[in-house]
A and B are shown apart, each in its own frame.
Chain A
Amino acid sequence: MNINKILVRIIALLLFFPILFMVFLSLSGAWPWPFLMPKSISLRGYLYVFNPSTKILKILINSILLSLIVTFITIAISLPAANALAFYDFKGKNIIKVLLFLPLIVPMIAVTMGIHLIFIRLGIVNTYLGVILIHVIPGIPYGVKILLNVFELKGNKIELQAKILGASTWQVLRYITIPIIMPTLVVAGSVIYIISFTQYFITFLIGGGKIITYSIILFPFAESGDRTILSALSVIFVISVLAIIYLSEKLVKKIYKNYI
């Protein structure tokens, strides 16, 4: 038993060490080989991130908004789909289930190279619209699967009762279904948000260098870059994602505290 506890701590620590190292690196000045400690502490990385002339904060806010829009669209189309799969029997149900699951399996890189030309013809490359549309795809399997699980678990008895008592479809959705599944919606939303916010290649291809997201600016630094600045950028990245997830949980709890 004791060995297990030691092992757990070692593995958890090993997995966490790179993050710790990243924070440390973001605050370091010159740090040549073979020193185990940097020669100086420096805020250079963070000064770069927060310097208005680099526009990094503006890009961060734009990316957050972009990924939030992607999340809302993905949830909005996954919710009715999961509902149909959970509560209705119809022809082609199994095929549709497989289809909605496929973006998890078929690499988005290939799909994006395939659709690129069509997006060019439609004039939606280098636009937010194009990037949002392509970002929705990898989130669909997660959105549908997570919501389908909760629908299958909780059933639709309360909804049916409300309908018998004369509630409209919209009222049922607004006052019963959504409040009940809200915690799951937040989980699904968080997953979809993270998937969108971390996309590099598909944003790069469809955005054509015109639509710059936070994940896009990381890449050149990783290619040839300044370790201190990249670490500072990474720290801000992780904090921003954790903050969005935390805030959305808080917000939902506040709005729906009377329901749950």
Chain B
Amino acid sequence: MNKKYKLIFPYLLLLPVLLFIFGIFIFGIVNIFLQSFGYFPAVGLKLFSLRYYKEILKDPNFFYSLKFSLYISFISSLLSVILGVLLAYLFLSTYLNDKAKFYNIYKISVIVPHTIAAFLVFTIFSQSGFLSRIFFRLGFINNMVEFYPMTFDTKGIGVILAYVWKGAPFITLITYDILKKLSDTYSKVALNLGANNFQVFWYILFPLVLPTISLGFIILFTFSFGAYEIPYLLGPSKPKALPVLAYIYYKSVNLKDRPYSMVINVFIILFSLVLAFLYILLNKIIKKHGIDR
């Protein structure tokens, strides 16, 4: 092999994957930006302008949707992380997961699509759902309308429940193996020196696994922030989640509405990127303070 060939060899290895990334992913994002500025030659819009940004930013519905989406994603990702890490910690301290394969059942919700997750939350938590029937039997309510509405509600309880049901096992899945490896190395030493189980977890394992947890949080947050099915099927009709709002403009018969949809998509992308940037920053801080592995 000559030297020149060796120099370009890694790029050749990366070429196929980069073709997909640039040809579809990056190109798609570029198109969103172009169209958000009103450059949409297919319907005769050829002038760049900030008109669509101005109009979307004047629309109170957009801000209700933005607030709703941020709120849903933040609460559901936070609860998923807390529940998921708690479950990983409990598996670790009881060894139940290693002893009995049976406990792997908790993972099943990871492979269930969001459509089914939304449907299951509906059948259990809606006013005609299973929980309301139990409340009726227990005499807490006299008819289904008295049951607190947890689906299609402005608090987004149903939406959050569906995301947590899918998200918590995902967090357990990505943290458990790392926690176990770390625990084998550090826990015995700390336990020998007189720390209790909780102290070992909170002061040793948790800081070490924090980069993984924060990555999990960001994956869940950006995913739910940009996903359509669950808020469409379980969310309130007002405010609508951002992706639902974006799609309404997108499928409008009037193709000249398309740029509005793209402005909303730009905001979805920007918020996601800001979060990814914060993650990289957080990792740098963690590394600087020497608590990385």
Write the residues of chain A forming the contact surface with B, with a CB cutoff of 8 angstroms: 1, 4-5, 7-9, 11-12, 15-16, 18-19, 21-22, 25, 33-36, 76-78, 80-81, 83-85, 88, 90, 96, 99-100, 102-115, 117-118, 133-134, 136-137, 140, 144, 194, 197-198, 200-201, 215, 218-219, 221-223, 227, 230, 234, 237-238, 241-242
Q: Report B20-63 CB contacts with A as 1/0, cut-off 8 Å.
A: 11001111111110010000001000000000000000000000
**Please, which residues of chain B bring their CB within 8 A of the CB of A34?**
132-133, 136-137, 144
Partner of A88, one of B9, B26, B119, B247: B9
Query: Given A110-B265, A137-B24, are A84 and B134 also a contact pair (CB < 8 Å)?
Result: no
The docked-state distance in angstroms from the alpha carbon of A223 to that of B115 is 9
The docked-state distance in angstroms from the alpha carbon of A85 to that of B222 is 25
Query: Given A35-B133, A105-B273, are A5 and B103 also a contact pair (CB < 8 Å)?
Result: no
Closest to B93 in A: A4
Give me 14 A-to-B residue pairs in the complex whose CB atoms sit less than 8 angstroms apart, sorted by A's number: A8-B87, A36-B133, A36-B134, A81-B13, A81-B17, A88-B9, A90-B10, A102-B21, A106-B273, A107-B223, A109-B228, A113-B32, A114-B27, A241-B111
Write the residues of chain B forming the contact surface with A, with a CB cutoff of 8 angstroms: 7, 9-14, 16-18, 20-21, 24-32, 35, 42, 83, 86-87, 90-91, 93-94, 96, 103, 105-106, 108-121, 123-124, 128, 130, 132-134, 136-137, 144, 165, 168-169, 218-219, 222-223, 225-229, 233, 243, 246-247, 250, 261-262, 265, 268-269, 272-273, 275-276
The docked-state distance in angstroms from the alpha carbon of A194 to that of B166 is 13
Partner of A33, one of B21, B25, B132: B132
Are B31 and A219 neighbours in the complex by a CB distance under 8 Å? no
Query: Given A81-B16, A137-B25, A194-B111, are A36 and B137 also a contact pair (CB < 8 Å)?
Result: yes
**Please, which residues of chain B bring their CB within 8 A of the CB of A90?**
7, 10-11
Are B165 and A77 neighbours in the complex by a CB distance under 8 Å? no
Closest to B221 in A: A105
Query: Given A11-B86, A200-B113, are A227 and B272 also a contact pair (CB < 8 Å)?
Result: no
Are B13 and A18 neighbours in the complex by a CB distance under 8 Å? no
Query: Given A115-B28, A200-B115, are A33 and B106 also a contact pair (CB < 8 Å)?
Result: no
Are B31 and A136 neighbours in the complex by a CB distance under 8 Å? no
The docked-state distance in angstroms from the alpha carbon of A219 to that of B228 is 12
Are B27 and A201 neighbours in the complex by a CB distance under 8 Å? no
Are B108 and A16 neighbours in the complex by a CB distance under 8 Å? yes
Rounded to whole Å, the gap between the CB of B217 and the closest CB of chain A is: 12
The docked-state distance in angstroms from the alpha carbon of A36 to that of B86 is 31
**Please, which residues of chain B bring their CB within 8 A of the CB of A16?**
105-106, 108
Partner of B103, one of A12, A76, A133, A223: A12
Query: Given A77-B20, A110-B269, A238-B112, are A21 and B130 also a contact pair (CB < 8 Å)?
Result: yes
Rounded to whole Å, the gap between the CB of A83 and the closest CB of chain B is: 6
The docked-state distance in angstroms from the alpha carbon of A100 to that of B116 is 29
Closest to A8 in B: B90
The docked-state distance in angstroms from the alpha carbon of A115 to that of B232 is 22
Are B119 and A234 neighbours in the complex by a CB distance under 8 Å? yes
**Please, which residues of chain A bring their CB within 8 A of the CB of B119?**
221-222, 227, 230, 234
Query: Given A115-B24, A134-B24, are A237 and B272 also a contact pair (CB < 8 Å)?
Result: no
Are B233 and A100 neighbours in the complex by a CB distance under 8 Å? no
**Please, which residues of chain B bring their CB within 8 A of the CB of A103?**
21, 25
